[in-house]
Structure 1
Amino acid sequence: MTTTSVGAPAKDSEGARVRIQRFGAFLSGMVMPNIAIFIAWGFITAFFIQTGWTPVGILGGFGTTGGVANIGLVGPIITYLIPLAIAFQGGRMVYDVRGAVVGAVFTMGVIVGANGTTMILGAMICGPLGAYLIKQIDKLWDGKIRPGFEMLVNNYAAGILGFGLALIGFFWLAPLFKLIATGLGHAVEALINVHLLPLASIIIEPAKILFLNNAINHGVLDQLGVQQVQQTGKSIFFLLEANPGPGLGILLAFTFFGIGASRASAPGAIIIQFFGGIHEIYFPFVLQKPILLIAVILGGATGVGTNVAFNSGLVAPASPGSIIAVLAQTSRDSYVGVILSVILSAAVSGVVASLLLIASRKRDLAAGGGDMADALAKMQGMKGRDANAATTGLLGNNAPATESEAESTFGGTGVAGGGAGATTATRIDNIVFACDAGMGSSAMGASVLRNKIKKAGIEGVTVVNKSIANLTGDEELIITHKDLTDRARQKSPNAQHVSVDNFMNSPKYDEVVEEISHQN
């Protein structure tokens, strides 16, 4: 009874976190594949609008040509192309291309009915909803259509449903979404007017550490940013999450005042985070010492406050959140404010993190901890595992038998009976490194592991990266950050799963390489 009463809330908490992450990943999954459109639109806006670098009326949508008002590219892209692309992607995620088509038709009704108001929010709802509805309708007569009539029934079912949904979107949903979008705009404007926008960092920075960064940035802030760009030509919202300053400060603090593997890996992480834009790389540094959340919150708030003070912003999302991408999308009148926001946020988070690390330095050294490798060893010791024991471990079993086994890599690869290390029951030829978006930390981790496999002289093993949402269930070995492993296991329960703490220098990468060398 005691075990149940204590363990159940923790399990419920884990389940809630996974559900929130999954929902956030779904939202960002609709936008992330279309980020290139936002960036292209940002460049068009920056160069060709009336206040841009090189104003061109026929492209920027101002003035007249031959007595006819110029439509330009800026308006149609943000009004039609971006929402339809998001709706198509959202529908495809629910029910492949068939769902994508119905979702796009549904969204078109909302776009036209909103009469010029950007309907990114409407697209993120109508795209998946339209796909879900046609999926349910198809289930009604699945296997009941007479041979030769399948195409006729399927095309007309989708067409008739799209017709009805487009009318619903035009007459009923468009006014509702327009009201919501207008309300959000007024609420944000009120926060800016009373100088409370920096408080958003209290929510944004901790949520990022829980791997909700893409959901916040592309699921919420992009919508607000696009609205603001249409009104003022730039937006501060593209910088609330993408600012690389707070993460840079954390990594600088570990570079100078960290200990062990954390200190050794921090300088390399700076290059990847600041110039590569992969913010996920500093998350484990904060997770190993959660009090550092104070540092990133204060750093984030400082950056937001600086941009508010200088009225600075970007013309489009900076994705990834690299200093290069940030400067590329900076409005022509905002370079001073944006650069200062990065510098000051890095300085504040760095100073606060340094003070916290110094304050706990003696305790960390005395405990033999303070870095990710030591923390892992300490965790294994507390769970009663012998590092020298050779066990079958995670590989060779389709599902972990115990929690301890799930958190182990292969259980152990030591020498058993004078023979080689532990071998796997299932041969591993394909390794998938999965993360939330499939572009940042997974690409980096895959590159590190690929290099280790190459140096070990192992051939015939492929290492790829993809998003958790795109896992098919046919994977052999999946490597994820420990906070994302539950989601990956749900998508591909028959695969072998390995959890890591540190994307750049996890000791489990070496265990994977050793195990594969044994199987070969």
Structure 2
Amino acid sequence: MKTITNENANAQNLQKFGRFLSGMVMPNIGAFIAWGLITALFIPTGWLPNENLATLVGPMIVYLLPLLIGYTGGKMVYGTRGGVLGAVATMGVIVGTSIPMFIGGMIMGPLAGYLMKKFDESVDGKVPTGFEMLVNNFSAGILGTILTLLAYVGIGPVVEGISNTFGAGVEAFVNAGLLPLASIFIEPAKILFLNNAINHGVLSPLGIEQAAETGKSIFFLLETNPGPGLGILLAYWVFSKGMIKQSAPGAIIIHFLGGIHEIYFPYILMQPSLLLAVIAGGASGVFTFVITGAGLVAVPSPGSIFALSAMAPRGGLIPVLAGVVVSAGVSFLVSAVLINKKGEQEDALTKAKENVSQMKNSSKTQIINKIEEDLDLSQVKTIAVACDAGMGSSAMGASKLKAALKEAKVNIKVINCSIDQLDNQSDFVITHEKLTKRAQSVVPGAIHISISDFINTDIYDRLAERFAVLQPSSEEPTESEDVYQPLKKQNIRIGLPSRSKEEAIRMAGQILFEGGYVEEGYIDAMVQRDSELSTYIGNGTAIPHGVSDAKKKIIKTGISILQFPEGVDFSGNTVYLVVGIAGVGNEHLMILSNLAEIVEDEEKIKQLSQTTDIDYIYKQFTN
């Protein structure tokens, strides 16, 4: 078995933290770009100055963007209820300070969602019937009030202290003649949105004094240099993937040409280690400015390459451009190394992942007791087993339930589908506990059962026993679907060396693409699906498949199987068999049914993970 060292565990924790930060920022990048465009266009020094439209700039960055981040952070922790409370708590941070509070939103949003979740868990089952809505509303209102007041009172002094610290640090380096090292304070201060405090509170007064004596000043270049941010965005454009890669070019235009540096701050907040890149880029740029004698005659506003060029003294443009180019190059190179090390930040944008195998068995016991004691199953005609995409874990669960009902001679229709495909004909819904609330919002009138694992549960046998008592039938359940064999021997790869989880998922998707089963874009959807909810199903097996929106990219049903004898690390779980799935209708259910049985047999998994016989693997999945 592959062991996870403490170092690897720490690295995984850092990656999870980075993915969580990314999940708060990435869904809101469009809002950042909208604000950046409005700012670049309409501020007094913008491309199309407009006094009235420029009034949008302040409220958007002070209120809208932090509130969006706070809402997203709370929703990641505890759904819409956590998101609403996260936005309320973030408002306290916003009003309690005088700078854009993105960091405050990142703190208060998840904190509010977590506390709301813990409160609801503490009163679960204790609220008298008929008072649920009252308790839900007032608990959220009271907790939101407390958190908002705490944020208002507590954050202001902290921010003021941070601002003073950074300002003093910059001034100390300036007074000591160590200008390049001032970037150690300047660049992190910018990310914390203290750029105006540093620039106008410390650097501009020094620059004005120096320019009055010499006709130019290097102090006007220290904070306004667009090079470090340009390097970050270029690195994301070149080395990242998915939404981040697609959004980077627009951010480059707004930052470098429009001079709105704030647009690149969220990209660093997604991966805080990139602070090293902007510090290195900033320091190298300042060093270049020093040795070339660069300076500007006044503060450039906004900090675009055009504004810097316009403020350069006669004959002094080349030194200014040299510093910008050097700082961008160094920032790009350092970012390239860090982004490659962190790897999977592309689709870590929406939710923090938990492995289903880590769920507590106690939840299963509660579910089974509820079925036996409380639920009226006499009117159930259709059971829907639903997951996010409707073709992976839910399909396997539906296969197991069909088998259990068939053995019990119960004739009830069982379907598998995505959450979004549920309709009123589904009067009984089984889904993962993380998706149940979403399923309830789609079919509120159905009976909903939450499970922590679609495969390793006896819920299906217990249901079959209950239905056998309530709805006895001598008829065999009918199957109208035509059986289709989507697995070919050429879709099986064995003896593969260990590699990263994303590489393994992409290999499985590439086989499906090359076999004509899916369009190429389906591969990214498989990676995204695992980032949102782990496709690890237990006992050394994972079933990566696309998110539900990617079904349109499926040409025909296909299965790929990859064997990794040394294992692949799936966020702390070792996987030996990676089964890639692209399903149309129910054509792949037979193979998934076989897989469901195989996963429960540790000895069988061991054989499949070590065999050198492709025919053996093929027969196990198709017979």
- Give TM-score scaled by structure 2 length: 0.42
- Give TM-score scaled by structure 1 length: 0.49
